[in-house]
Structure 1
């Protein structure tokens, strides 16, 4: 007690009490006014807070390792900010100094400067610091995701020699793979050299300037069916498709897109017309995945694909899946006032919603508005009739 009184007298007389009291820890410093603690600690605090902030906790590292196969667009929620909110408004920070071996040191749950009595700018609160931390975390996550953008990869997985009555050729199987995501059911096409050659001629005729730097494997007069030639052509076709996909105008052209899914659409339509719904369903589903990988899920071909899936699911008594296809199509047609497939999709959706016990009032209202502005219901074709009559050229 006598020592504490002596310290206060020295502070009042010589102005040296603040420095000496800061040298003492524990409960002695708590009894002194806040001004004596905050007076000349600002410079030291700014020095400690300078440096690189680390917003990744150990829990986040575990989550990132476990979710390495997920899409880059689906980022997990930051655990640091959540932990700070649950901990009574704690703020997150980092200290300067040499980092230990094995990576930078991470400091978690450091008390808020206001609560600990260190320093704080006027009007600052712990809630504002936590909000700023969450914003910085989100910015860091977005920048990290932008470093590895999702790409479409083309991989020739196999090649087989096909011998027919009057010809012999190599059939290449190509997978369309999106980097950063595991596809349970990959999109697949099988093409021969003549298919690639036809695509190359069509694109060079329309995009002569863009195609000037695109290489294409030349024909060979002999040794076309050796393992060495097939392997070289497989790698060449992968590079050929990747180069085409990197050019925006070619990537969106009908010639490039139809090379992938037009054959499937034609085959699925023929199978549907002949009543082979199970075989047609698999072909429609592959065409759906191809268009999804290529990013053309709003085109007329994609709506036709949804119609084929809905019809085949309904014929196979898979009513829930058919209802889902109709709902997806109606979402795409939401912004369009009129479309040849809008009426048939509405009729099919209402019928399937009644079968599976789903809400159908909105579709009924849309169908009534459509009938008032167009032909009566009796004159509108069904979804299957539209699917069969649609020409695929």
Structure 2
């Protein structure tokens, strides 16, 4: 029975090619059905792949009526194409009755439709994934350690420029110790890989620690109080901010831009876009873009920062951002009247004859402990 159904599916998908061969006296009927099943199972699976479709209840009823109207096989004899879905033309009544005995099939289709609609509407929840993509043994003059590279990835989203960090065991251990001091109850159920006296650089040990660090970060991120804490957030981007600040101060703007950009991506994925560190990151991006004569990108960074500062009456970076935005808007030919009015109001409200520091001066002065 199964071989007969499979044979009819092949005929339906082949558009009558099998019937022409049988009419000509060759091929299919000269060979046993078992040999056909063994020889062509892979090809048939390929042709059947991707045939799942989501249809409404009305469409299902119309297709069912078409199948019932074609039970005599007249459409097949006239060489018409087979119905788009359902059993093959000319199927026996007993075979169609067996399919009708499963009322759960319609329910499954509706469940798939609902899942598809929810995913199309962006209602499916997204999670932040932590993936150790590589681990390398680093040997220095007085020490030897393993450096783990971790990517931060949003599930269900393709990242053209993923956010990445490189941390060693001591960095994870320091984070674990700080969090246990502040969040003792929440950290009670969080496991942390212990130190080993030997075989720390064995491939098996590194692989196990890589998976353990992924689970460790995922568990921490699942706890709301911890994932919003400075200890957790700065574990990811504070090193990049320090390196970017140092490179900016020494005039290495291209290298600094890469560090500022990675810190920006890390904060964005961690949901830290409203913090003071994020505004400092935008200032660093604006300064480096401007120094590299990328004025459009610098202007965009200033605009994003001013949108974040819209609801704040005063902020140490508000004046420098307004000043930079006015200058850059004039350079790129954008409207600067609103920023000029805000800057004038800010200057009138403050102490007289006190010049605003530039964004670069703010970057140099900002302590990053």
| TM over 0.5, shorter chain | yes
Deviation at 1:359, TM superposition (A): 0.5
C-alpha distance after superposition, 1:224-279 (max 9, x if no partner): 00100000000000000000000111010110000000010011000111111110
Contact 2:127/2:155 (CA < 8 Å) preserved in 1?
yes
2:180 is equivalent to residue 216 of structure 1:
no
2:173 is equivalent to residue 202 of structure 1:
no
Helix, strand or coil for the counterpart of 2:147?
strand
1:311 is aligned to: 287
Moved more, 220-229 or 94-103: 94-103
Q: Which runs of 5+ in 1 are unaligned?
A: 1-61, 66-79, 81-91, 106-136
Aligned residues: 274
1:389 is aligned to: 365
Helix, strand or coil for the counterpart of 1:173?
strand
2:266 is aligned to: 290
C-alpha distance after superposition, 1:40-97 (max 9, x if no partner): xxxxxxxxxxxxxxxxxxxxxx9xx9xxxxxxxxxxxxxx9xxxxxxxxxxx972675
2:339 is equivalent to residue 373 of structure 1:
no
Deviation at 1:143, TM superposition (A): 7.7
Helix, strand or coil for the counterpart of 2:133?
strand
Helix, strand or coil for the counterpart of 2:192?
coil
State how far apart, in whole Å, the 2-side matches of 1:387 and 1:140 are. Answer: 47
2:234 is aligned to: 258
C-alpha distance after superposition, 1:131-168 (max 9, x if no partner): xxxxxx99984587577311100000000000011100
State how far apart, in whole Å, the 2-side matches of 1:233 and 1:190 are. Answer: 14
2:246 is aligned to: 270
Closer, same or farther: CA 96–347 of 1 in aligned 2, 3 Å = closer
State how far apart, in whole Å, the 1-side matches of 2:304 and 2:122 are. Answer: 29
2:314 is aligned to: 338
Q: How does 1:37-116 map to 2 (within 5 A)?
A: 94=58
Q: TM-score, normalised by structure 2?
A: 0.69
Helix, strand or coil for the counterpart of 1:160?
strand
Closer, same or farther: CA 346–276 of 1 in aligned 2, 3 Å = same
2:161 is aligned to: 185
Q: Which runs of 5+ in 2 are unaligned?
A: 1-49, 68-82, 87-112
Closer, same or farther: CA 376–306 of 1 in aligned 2, 3 Å = farther
Moved more, 314-323 or 93-102: 93-102
Contact 2:118/2:124 (CA < 8 Å) preserved in 1?
no
1:77 is aligned to: none
Closer, same or farther: CA 339–253 of 1 in aligned 2, 3 Å = same
C-alpha distance after superposition, 1:334-390 (max 9, x if no partner): 010100000000000000011111110000000011011113465221111011100
State how far apart, in whole Å, the 1-side matches of 2:343 and 2:122 are. Answer: 43
Q: TM-score, normalised by structure 1?
A: 0.65
Contact 2:257/2:288 (CA < 8 Å) preserved in 1?
yes
C-alpha distance after superposition, 1:15-37 (max 9, x if no partner): xxxxxxxxxxxxxxxxxxxxxxx
C-alpha distance after superposition, 1:287-321 (max 9, x if no partner): 00000000111110000000000000111111111
Closer, same or farther: CA 95–280 of 1 in aligned 2, 3 Å = closer
1:115 is aligned to: none
1:300 is aligned to: 276
Closer, same or farther: CA 272–103 of 1 in aligned 2, 3 Å = farther
State how far apart, in whole Å, the 2-side matches of 1:201 and 1:104 are. Answer: 60
State how far apart, in whole Å, the 1-side matches of 2:225 and 2:235 are. Answer: 15
Closer, same or farther: CA 232–359 of 1 in aligned 2, 3 Å = same
State how far apart, in whole Å, the 1-side matches of 2:62 and 2:117 are. Answer: 25
Contact 2:191/2:216 (CA < 8 Å) preserved in 1?
yes
Q: How does 1:104-253 map to 2 (within 5 A)?
A: 141-142=117-118, 148-253=124-229
1:44 is aligned to: none
State how far apart, in whole Å, the 1-side matches of 2:115 and 2:237 are. Answer: 38
Deviation at 1:284, TM superposition (A): 0.2
